[in-house]
Amino acid sequence: MDRVTLRGLKIRGHHGVFEHERRDGQIFVVDLVLGLDTAPAAAGDDLTATVHYGVVAEQVAAVVSGDPVDLIETLAQRVADVCLGHEVVQEVEVTVHKPDAPITVPFDDVTVTITRRRP
């Protein structure tokens, strides 16, 4: 399976369990690895035979900036569902970074990574 990768999508969202996270929001960073067969697109130089990563990026941004959730696990699942909504995408790995998570000790990043596949 081939891969199309988007890294470092930075989107403001209002996710988290604390009231200030919901009220103030914060930047979330999303990485995607889309698994698909790119051979048909390459053979015909045909955008319609592959996934349009610009469209995917916009859809993911709409999810992250949309309805708030408590957990980044839930957010990652919603992003995966959007990606698998593209017929050519057979699997997706989603990493959601929450670099400003409300943790009381010094840290670099908090991430959740999930992999989802078509049945």
Question: What is the pTM (predicted TM-score) of this model?
Answer: 0.96
The domain of 22 spans 2-117
pLDDT exceeds 90 at position 45: yes
pLDDT exceeds 90 at position 119: no
Q: Give how many domains the chain has, as a whole number.
A: 1
CA–CA distance, 81 with 86 (Å, rounded to integer): 9
Tens-digit pLDDT profile for residues 69-118: 999 999 999 999 999 999 999 999 999 999 999 999 999 999 999 999 99
pLDDT band (50, 70, 90) for residue 25: very high
By annotation, the residues acting in catalysis are 98
What are the strands of the beta sheet with 2-13, ordered from one edge? Answer: 2-13, 26-36, 91-97, 111-117
pLDDT exceeds 90 at position 56: yes
CA–CA distance, 97 with 9 (Å, rounded to integer): 10
- The CATH number of whichever domain residue 14 belongs to comes to 3.30.1130.10
